[in-house]
Amino acid sequence: MGGVIGYITNYIAIRMLFRPHQAKYFMGIHVPFTPGIIPKEKCRIATSIGKAVSENLMNREVLERSLLSQEMLDKMGSAIDEFIVTQSHNQETIEQFAAHYLSQEDITAMRSNVTSGIVKMITAKLQNSQLGDNIARLATEHALEKTRNSLAGRLGAEVIVQTLAQPIEKVLAKHINEILQNNSQHMVEGLVQDQSTQLMGLKMSELTTGREEQVAQIKNGIQSAYRVIITEHLPRILQDINISAIIEQRINEMDMNEAEAIILDVMKKELRAVVWLGALLGTIMGTITSFF
């Protein structure tokens, strides 16, 4: 009888952790121990679990140690190597490959934005540079060299060309600079668009074949960027994510039937052991009292 009582009381106590899910009333009087302990303290438990997880289980030190472990870095390196080997046999163009992950509208917008950015950068460099002066100087030097080596140069034309070189160079530089100011954007835009089209038409296999050194540099760059993100940006990422608030909100949103099923699934063996431990203790106590 002691064993039966111990079993039943422990079983009821465990069930009362979860049930009833709502407060019960009898003739307007609140029935004690309703709702169960977990439903009654659900908000406090959610806050405590969220705080405990964010401060002890998923804090910066723990995540950084895990994400920067040698095992994780080796896995990343292996994943990159596997990707490179796969793409070395991929006959899809870059645009076709990107279509697996982006819509055509996104690809077009990305190409347009990148092209526009490059055009603006190169155009600004050309318009603010001394390219016209340099071209004019090189042109006059080339003309002098040609004249010097020609029959006209040997007949004295070199002296005339040298006399005219400086004013001609200034006029030529002025006109070239004007041309660059007025037409550089159009010229650069055409070149960049052509190069962009050619690049997007390249096969994925062509990006890796014969470019082992560049591929190795890209791999090292990815791994270095990953380390920088984890070491320098992880605190801000954790702050923005707010793991504690996410866990607390998720627990509060849970239906008690769902929460009960999860807890029982995780601790089924342990809770069953508690029930049978009650039966064992009840049996021992009943056996001892039978001698008195």
For 138-161, the pLDDT digits (tens) are: 777 766 676 666 654 455 555 555
| Nearest-10 crossing angle of helices 234-241, 60-67 | 120
Residue that has been written with the tokens 């804090």 in this structure: 59
Distance from C-alpha of 148 to C-alpha of 159, rounded to nearest angstrom: 9
The confidence score (pLDDT) of residue 142 equals 67
The tokens of 195 are what?
Answer: 């190069």
**Which residue, 34, 36, 54, 58, is CA-closest to 46?**
54
Structure-token pair, residue 74: 């080796």
C-alpha to C-alpha distance for 33 and 271, rounded to whole angstroms: 20
| Range from 55-59, 73-77, 165-169 carrying the lowest mean pLDDT | 165-169
Structural domain boundaries in the chain: 1-74+212-292, 92-202
pTM to 2 decimals? 0.55
292, exposed or middle or buried, with CB in 10 Å at 0-12, 13-18, 19+?
A: exposed
d(C-alpha 2, C-alpha 260), whole Å: 29
At residue 246, does pLDDT exceed 60? Answer: yes
> Collapsing DSSP states into helix, strand and coil, what is residue 244?
helix
Higher-scoring residue by pLDDT: 143, 87: 87
Q: At residue 203, does pLDDT exceed 60?
A: yes
At residue 54, what is the residue type?
S
Share in percent of the chain as helix, strand, coil (round to 5): 80, 0, 15
- 157-202 residue pLDDT tens: 555 556 666 677 677 777 777 776 777 777 777 777 777 777 778 8
The mean-pLDDT minimum among 45-49, 98-102, 277-281 falls in 98-102
Q: Would you say residue 11 has pLDDT above 80?
A: yes
In the chain the beta strands, taken as DSSP E runs, fall at: 25-26, 29-30
Q: Give 191-227 as a DSSP string.
A: HHHHHHHHHHTSBHHHHHTT-HHHHHHHHHHHHHHHH
